[in-house]
Amino acid sequence: MTALWIILGIIAFIALLMLLRAGVKAEIAEGGTTVDIKYGPFRFRIIPAKKGKKRKAEKNKEEEEKKPKKGASAGRVLEIVRLVSDALGRLRRKLTIDRLELSVVYGSEDAAGTAVAYGAASAVMGTIVPLIENSFKLKKRDFSITPVFDRKTLEVLLRAQVSAALGSLVWIGLVMFVKLMGSKSK
């Protein structure tokens, strides 16, 4: 009976781990790019990498460049593209964009050119935002375009925080792996 309780406890713990949300938080700004991975209460910084890891990565890149690269057949590439497309379609339904922020400050020396660019950017933003809102669950968004008429400048700030339940990601990964192995055997 004790073994049964231990097994049930392990199953409950694994189920709890699969229900926790895993996410990526990225920020692209003038100061640089940062990418963090978050799983439950834990957060790990990926970019910028630590200097020790960077050196190892550079050595690995040099070794890979020395090896001759072989290309895949066009049919194989097409199969992989189809599988990736299918995975993205499945992921789209499971993914939540917790926060999406885009801030653009644009200016040129020509005030009329700045105004025209502002109008074009607003039109593009008005087209893209509904596509994002209809494709994903979007919790919080903030898009702004600010024209500057007295100097030449371009400043872009992009912050995105995306998450999904780990169980969903594992399931999608398993389905794609099985499909990939099935297509490989054909």
DSSP 3-state of 173? helix
Give the containing element (helix H, strand E) for 21.
Answer: strand 21-29
Q: Which of 125, 160, 116 is nearest to 143 (CA)?
A: 125
Query: What pLDDT, on the 0 to 100 scale, is given for residue 51?
Result: 59
The pTM (predicted TM-score) of the whole model is 0.60
Instruction: Specify the pLDDT at position 69.
Output: 47
Is residue 102 within 8 A of residue 146, CB to CB? The reply is no
Mean pLDDT by runs of 10 across the 186 residues of the chain is: 85 81 80 81 78 54 53 60 70 80 86 89 87 83 88 84 80 76 66
Give pLDDT, residue 159. 86
**Residue 3 pLDDT:** 85
b/e per residue 138-172 (b: at least 16 CB within 10 A) = eeeeeeebebbeeeeeeeeeebbbbbbbbbbbeeb
- What is the rounded CA–CA span in Å between residue 148 and residue 152? 8
Spell out the long-range contacts of 91-95 with Cβ–Cβ below 8 A and sequence spacing 24 or more: 91/164, 91/169, 91/172, 92/135, 92/136, 94/164, 94/165, 94/168, 94/169, 94/172, 95/136, 95/137, 95/162, 95/163, 95/164
pLDDT at 183: 66
Domain boundaries, the chain: 96-163
Report the alpha-carbon distance of residue 29 to residue 83 in Å, rounded: 33
